[in-house]
């Protein structure tokens, strides 16, 4: 959830937003402010990276006369629902593991770039978000398709509680 904007003159019992930066911009985030049900910071710090969430706008029905057989929606996007993005969290976990394993499967040039970007002693370090974006692009390009299919198949096995005879059973190739 997003922290709501503070209205002018609103009293907050905690001065949480006075210093909102609690992670280094050069390393993976390891802490975040907990939020209440309305999306406001509580002042408590969780010792983990915030889970990925996305905000889905929920349009309100348009007031007034409706044409017969037609539903009209006003796109006043003031309402939204929050949904967890488990695929992003899984990708982050995979990237973290891949990073700690020394980037297996990459070309020597890609490895040199990845190590250069992550060098804490280099001048003009890149931000972790930039590094993670580059790692993601390289990871998705070099991870063998059968590894991804095997992981997806394992997820399917856990979801349906059955054993598939091959990593591609039940999956359809969209090519």
Residue 161 lies in a domain: no
**What is the predicted pLDDT for the residue at 127?**
96
Alpha helices in the chain (DSSP H): 86-100, 108-118, 128-142, 145-160
Are 44 and 65 within one domain? no
Kindly report, residue by residue over 51-101, the tens digit of the pLDDT: 998 888 877 777 755 555 444 444 444 577 788 888 899 999 999 999 999
Q: Are strands 32-35 and 41-46 parallel, antiparallel or unpaired?
A: antiparallel
Question: What mean pLDDT comes out for the span 144-151?
Answer: 60
Is there a single domain that holds both residue 46 and residue 60? no
**Is residue 162 one of the residues assigned to a domain?**
no
- The number of domains in the chain is 2
- Helical packing angle, 128-142 and 86-100, nearest 10°: 90
Same domain, 6 and 36: yes
In a domain, 122, yes or no: no
Question: In this structure, what DSSP letter does residue 47 have?
Answer: S
Supply the range of the domain harboring residue 44.
Answer: 1-50
Tell me the pTM. 0.63
Q: Is residue 14 part of a domain?
A: yes
**Residue 169 falls within a domain, yes or no?**
no
Categorize the per-residue pLDDT at 28 as very low, low, confident or very high, splitting at 50, 70 and 90: very high
Indicate the SS3 state at residue 41: strand
The tokens describing 119, both together, are 């060098």
């Amino acid at each position: 959830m997003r922290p709501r904007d503070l209205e002018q003159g609103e009293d907050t019992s905690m001065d949480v937003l006075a210093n909102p930066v609690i992670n280094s911009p050069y390393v993976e985030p390891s802490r975040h402010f907990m939020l209440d049900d309305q999306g406001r910071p509580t002042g408590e710090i969780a010792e983990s990276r915030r889970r990925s969430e996305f905000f889905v706008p929920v349009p309100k029905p348009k007031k007034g006369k409706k044409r017969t057989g037609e539903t009209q929606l006003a796109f006043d996007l003031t309402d939204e629902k929050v949904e967890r993005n488990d695929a992003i969290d899984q990708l982050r976990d995979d990237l973290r593991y891949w990073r700690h394993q020394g980037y297996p499967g990459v070309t020597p040039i890609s490895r040199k770039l990845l190590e250069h970007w992550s060098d804490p002693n280099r001048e003009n370090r890149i931000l972790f978000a930039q590094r993670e974006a580059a790692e993601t692009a390289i990871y998705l390009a070099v991870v063998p398709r059968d590894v991804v299919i095997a992981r997806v198949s394992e997820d399917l096995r856990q979801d349906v509680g059955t054993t598939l005879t091959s990593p591609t059973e039940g999956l359809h190739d969209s090519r």
